[in-house]
């Protein structure tokens, strides 16, 4: 058996129904692969966003001339 889509069966049924209503029998056949591509693309986009987020939270660099861990005294 091939790969299984990680989607609820109701979502697949809605996709097939929408494809059939829009483009007939050809739309019903194209709906599931199109839904799979959109789902995979969305998951990849979100995974890439999760990888980039920790870099945004890095601590700012120490000013030049200070030893690491020492702070300016006022």
| Of 59 and 24, more confident | 24
Q: What pLDDT is attached to residue 56?
A: 54
Residue 13 CA to residue 31 CA, distance in Å, equals: 10
Domain ranges of the chain: 8-52
Q: What pLDDT is attached to residue 60?
A: 58
Is the Cα torsion angle 42, 5, 11, 34 positive or negative in sign?
positive
Residue 6 pLDDT more than 60?
A: yes
Residue 2 pLDDT more than 70?
A: no
Q: Mean pLDDT in the chain?
A: 79
| Of 20 and 71, more confident | 20
CB atoms within 10 A of CB 1: 3
Cβ 15 vs Cβ 35: under 8 Å: yes
């Amino acid at each position: 058996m091939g790969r299984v889509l990680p989607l609820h069966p109701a979502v697949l049924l809605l996709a097939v129904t929408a494809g059939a209503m829009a483009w007939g029998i050809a739309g019903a056949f194209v709906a599931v692969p199109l839904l799979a591509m959109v789902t995979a693309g969305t998951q990849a986009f979100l995974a890439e966003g999760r990888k980039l987020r920790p870099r945004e939270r890095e601590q700012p660099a120490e000013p030049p001339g200070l030893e690491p861990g020492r702070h300016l005294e006022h």
